[in-house]
Every structure is written in structure tokens, then in C-alpha cells.
Structure 1
């Protein structure tokens, strides 16, 4: 029996789960209140608090980290890597996400907490299916500004799990199919899974608006918006946080819960209906954009994520895209199961762990990272 502990940090909670082989024994979401977050405005400020929460969970459930066969965590904001699957959490990764993170995102804390839990113990720690796997077609990364390369980023962990789940349901292999998979969450991302490879993608800042994200905004408007924000004293980080956390449904209705907006619509709020339909319209538009990258050769469109529980929203999307390919809805997220399943495959010798050897841009040694930190102030 393999004992596996999984950690997945989100913006307002830390999800943890204990598995014995593929059976989930215990899962909990360790929430952080808005008041607590105000005291810890930067992501790294939350590390000790969240670690203590996890340690308390382990004590309350009589779980000894020394008895774990493996700890697996969500990847966080690391530089692009060439493969999906498992990567070792080593000194380079810890230094990179501590002193030179690619972005300020709570997921970054996952591997830091995992590493701390088993420090000094002979327990391997890995990340699995990071968001930044660079398996995309080179043509997809070209932009109209030569200095800017559009690097791939997507919710690989849950979308790949949805793809595997769908493939198994029809007696096929995930790697034998062409799938467009949509992740409906606080941010909305889409990927074209070409026989197991993310060939092209639409990230949550370049496609539809979402509960917390602005989505794609024409540059003629965005340039003016950013200029006005900076002129008013806003920092780059504050503008980023607005665009990728405080816009979308939150900006319109002061809620990120689609159910709240649906209730407004059902009560006769015409703007609520228009904005919700605009969100579904944007998702459908992005599905169409991905479909043409393979000349419409799509075996299945899969809609997953928390918002996929809304039949109203998914039906609006289906109406517009079902001519491309059949649509399956796999609501919710199975990230903890995906993490544990990956760890179990590693422990069973079915997959190898990739060495982590990728330095943040501008750095060439761990010492240089530590001595010249970039905290994205």
C-alpha cells in the first residue's frame, strides 16, 4: 500500500488529501478568511500560516509525514518545462519560487509547504502536470511584437484528468484523441489536446471573461486603461491583480459565484443575463478558434471545472459549438485525484520523475537567485 499526501493551494484555501493507493481517505479545504488575507497581502507572506494549517490537519488526523511514500503538490509559477508529468521538488525549484517566482499566485505555495512538511525525512516530493508545459506548436507562440513570445500556460492538471476520464468512458486512450478541453473556473482556459500534447491553448487573459478575469481586451483600450491606472499611482502588481482577480463577474456584480448572477438574471436583471451570455459566447468563440488549428478535426469537446455545474451556461456553449464536435460535460475538478494518480504511477514505476533543471529568466545559479531576488513588487 502506497501512502500519498497531496497539496493544492488556491487563492483562498489550501486543499489537502491523504490517499492509500488510489483511494482517497481524507480530504479537506483549509480556508483563509478575507480578513486574514488582508494581513498577508503578498503570496509568500502566507507560507507559514498555511503550513501551520496543514500541520494541524496532520496532527488532528494522526498522519505522520515520515510514513508517507510520497508528497505531491500543485506546481505553482515555475519557468516553462518541456514535459508533462512529475518533476522533483529540489533546491532550485524552492529557490526559484521563493526568490524569483514567475508570478504572484497562491499555487506557488504548494511545493513550498510540501517541502517543509518532510524536511529532513527520506520522503520524495514532486509536482505533477504543471501549468507551464511547453509542448505547443511553434506557430502558436508567435506574436506581433518580436520581443514577446507567447509561452503556453493552461490548467493542465484538471483538464488532462478530464480527458483521461472521457477517454476511459468510451473505451479509448487519452493519447489517441483530438480533444478541446475547457476549464470553467475563476479563470477560464482552453486547450487543444492533440493526442496527449497541448498543441495550442487560450489562457485566462486572452480569451473569454470569467468570474475573476477580464479576458482579452483590445489593445486600443488596454493601453489607455493601464496608462490611467499607473497615472493614478497604481503599481504593476496592483493592475495585474485587478485584471486577473478582481475583474469579470466580480467587477460587474461584486461576486464571483455564477449562481448569484444566475439568480439576478432569473429575477429580471437584464445586465446579468447579457454578461453571462457574453461569457458563454466568449468560450464558444475560443473553442472555434482552437478547432481551426487542426482543420476542425476534433473528436470531442469537453467542458469541466466548477462552473460546469451550471447547465444554463454549458447549454449556451453547446448550442454554439456542437456543430464542431460532440460535447461532454464533466463538472467539478479532480485535481487532488489527478495529483495522487500521478504520484501512484511514479511509485509503481509506470512513470519517471523528471529532474528539475530550469532557471528563471536572467539567472544561472541558485546563489544568484538568492542574492538577487525578484519579488515582482
Structure 2
């Protein structure tokens, strides 16, 4: 029996779960209130608070890190890596997410907490299926500004799990299918999974608005908005990535609350939520062309996929492309545990050896932190 502990930090909670082989024994969401978050505006400010929450969970459940066979964390804002699967949480990864993160996102804290609770043990610590696997077609990275290369970012962990789940349901392997998989969460991301490889993607800042994100904004408006704003660069990034979308319109990221407004006859709530679904459909259409329409299935997953209203609006617009399957919710903890079990059964752990852009040593990263740190 293999004992596996998983850690997944989100914007307002830290989810932890303990597995024995593939069986989940315990799971909890360690929430952080809005008032507490206001005292910790930068992601790294939350590290000690969240770490103590996890340690209390372990104590309350009589779990001891030295007894684990492996600890698996959600990958945070690390630099692009060449493969999916497992990566060692090593000194370079810790330095990179601490002093030179690619973005301010709570997922970054997952590997830091994992490494902290493993201190004094010989338990391996890994991340699994990072968001930044660079398996995309070269043509998808070209932009209209030569100095900017659009690097792939996709919600791989849960969407790949959804693809595997769908494949099993029809007696096929995930790697035998062409799938467009949509992650409907606080941010909305889409990927074209070409036989197990994300060939192209739509990240949460280049597609539809979402519960927390602005989505793509025309540059003629965005440039004026940024230059006329009194926000700092960091404040603007945090606004676009956590305080816009449904939050900006209604003060909530909870789609259920917006649906209550619709049920009460609020026309603005209906058109804004429908606009979100409309944007998802447009992004699905955008991805459908990259293999000339050869799409076996469209899959809608994530927390917002529990909304039949939203998924029906999307399906109405895209079912002409391919059939649509809804797999609501997130199986991230199960995906992390499954990855950890595969590693314990012999799957390779990739060394993490990618330096953040502009750095060539760990010492340089620590001495010269980026503006995001």
C-alpha cells in the first residue's frame, strides 16, 4: 500500500488529500477569508499562513510526513517545461517560484508547502502535469510582435484527467483521440488535445471572460485603460487576473449567485453570463480549425460545468463541430494522486532544470529577484 499526500493551492483555499494507493482516505479545503487575504496581498505573503493550516490538518488526522511514500503538489508558475508528467521539486524550482515567478498565482505555494512539510524526511516531493508544458505547435506561438512569443499555458491537470475519464467511458485511450477540453473555473482555459499533446490552447487572458478574469480585451481599449489607470503594473495584473469578469460586474465569482439574479429577472445578469458562455463557444470554434475540424469530442469540465444553464448555452453553439460531453467538477486531487502512484510504480521523474528568463544560476535568481516576487 502506497501512502500519497497531495496539495493544491487555489486563490481562496488550500486543498489537501491523503490517499492509500488510488483510494482517497481524507480530503479538506482549508479556506482563507477575504479579510485574511487583504492582509496578505502578495502570493508569497500567504506561505506561512497556509503552511500552518496544512500542518494542523496533518496533526488533527494523525498523519506524519515521514510515513508518506510521496508528496505531490500542484505545479505553480514555473517556466515552460518540455514534457507532461512528474517533475522533481528541487532547489531551482523553489528559488524560481520564490524569487522569479512567472506570475502571481496561489498554485505556486503548493510546492513550497510540500517541500516545507517534507523537511527532515527522505520522502520525494514532485509536481505533476504543470500548466506550462510546451508541447504546442510552433505556429501557435507566433504573435504580431516579434519580441513576444506566446508560450503555452493550459489547465493540464484536470483537463487531461477529464480526457482520460472520457476515453475510458467509450473504451478508448486518451492518446487515441482529438479533444477540445474546456476548463470552466475561476479562470477559463481551453486546449486542443491532439492524441495526448496540447497542440494549441486559449489561456484565461486570451479568451472568454470568466468568474475572475477579464479575458481578451481589444488592444485599442486595453492600452487606454492601462495608461489612464492609477494602478501599478502589479495591481493591474492582479485586477485582470482576479478582480474582473463576474466579480467586477456582480461582486461575486460564484456563478450560482449570478444565476439567482437571473431567476429574479435581472436582465443584466443574464446577458453578462450568456456573454461568458458565448465567449467560450467562440474559443472552441477558434481551436476547432487547427486540425481542419477533426474533433472527436468537446469536453466541458471544472466547477462552472455544474451549471446546466451555462453548459447548455455553450452546447447550443458548438455541437455542430463535435458532440459535447460535460464532466463537471475538478478531479485535481485524484489526478495528483494518480500521478504520484504512477511514479511509485516506475514512471520517470523529470529533473527540473529550466531557469527563468534572464537567469543562469540559482544564486543570480536569489540576488536579483524579479518585479513579481
Do both proteins adopt the same fold according to a TM-score greater than 0.5, normalized to the shorter chain? yes
Aligned to 2:372: 376
Q: Per-residue displacement from partner, 1:112-142 (whole Å, max 9, x unpaired)?
A: 0000001121100000000000000000000
* Structure 1 CA distance for aligned equivalents of residues 363 and 239 of structure 2: 33
Aligned to 1:306: 303
Task: State yes or no: 1:361 paired with 2:361.
Answer: no
Query: What TM-score do the two structures reach when normalised by structure 2?
Result: 0.99
* Structure 2 CA distance for aligned equivalents of residues 334 and 162 of structure 1: 8
**Structure 1: which 5+ residue stretches go unaligned?**
none
Aligned to 1:292: 289
Shift of 1:375: 4.3
Please report the RMSD computed on the Cα atoms of aligned residues, expressed in angstroms: 0.7
Aligned to 1:219: 219
Query: What TM-score do the two structures reach when normalised by structure 1?
Result: 0.98
Task: State yes or no: 1:252 paired with 2:249.
Answer: yes
* Structure 2 CA distance for aligned equivalents of residues 182 and 151 of structure 1: 18
**Structure 2: which 5+ residue stretches go unaligned?**
none
Q: 4+ runs of 1 displaced by more than 2 Å? A: none
| Residue pair 1:131, 1:154 contacting (<8 A) in 2 also | yes
SS of residue matched to 1:77? coil
Aligned to 1:321: 318
* Structure 1 CA distance for aligned equivalents of residues 369 and 222 of structure 2: 29
Aligned to 1:279: 276
* Structure 2 CA distance for aligned equivalents of residues 287 and 373 of structure 1: 38
Q: Report 1:260-279 matches (<5 A).
A: 260-279=257-276
* Structure 2 CA distance for aligned equivalents of residues 200 and 299 of structure 1: 16
* Structure 1 CA distance for aligned equivalents of residues 116 and 168 of structure 2: 36
| Residue pair 1:101, 1:375 contacting (<8 A) in 2 also | no
Task: State yes or no: 1:3 paired with 2:7.
Answer: no
* Structure 2 CA distance for aligned equivalents of residues 228 and 120 of structure 1: 51
Q: Per-residue displacement from partner, 1:303-358 (whole Å, max 9, x unpaired)?
A: 00000000011001000100110100000000000000000001011x21001100
Shift of 1:214: 0.7
* Structure 1 CA distance for aligned equivalents of residues 250 and 53 of structure 2: 32
Aligned to 1:20: 20
* Structure 1 CA distance for aligned equivalents of residues 34 and 201 of structure 2: 32
| Residue pair 1:84, 1:130 contacting (<8 A) in 2 also | yes
* Structure 2 CA distance for aligned equivalents of residues 25 and 336 of structure 1: 12
Aligned to 2:348: 352
* Structure 2 CA distance for aligned equivalents of residues 176 and 168 of structure 1: 11
* Structure 2 CA distance for aligned equivalents of residues 375 and 155 of structure 1: 25
Aligned to 1:236: 233
Q: Report 1:1-377 matches (<5 A).
A: 1-229=1-229, 232=230, 234-349=231-346, 351-376=347-372
SS of residue matched to 2:53? helix
SS of residue matched to 1:244? helix
* Structure 1 CA distance for aligned equivalents of residues 297 and 153 of structure 2: 21
Q: Number of matched residues?
A: 373
* Structure 1 CA distance for aligned equivalents of residues 259 and 13 of structure 2: 25
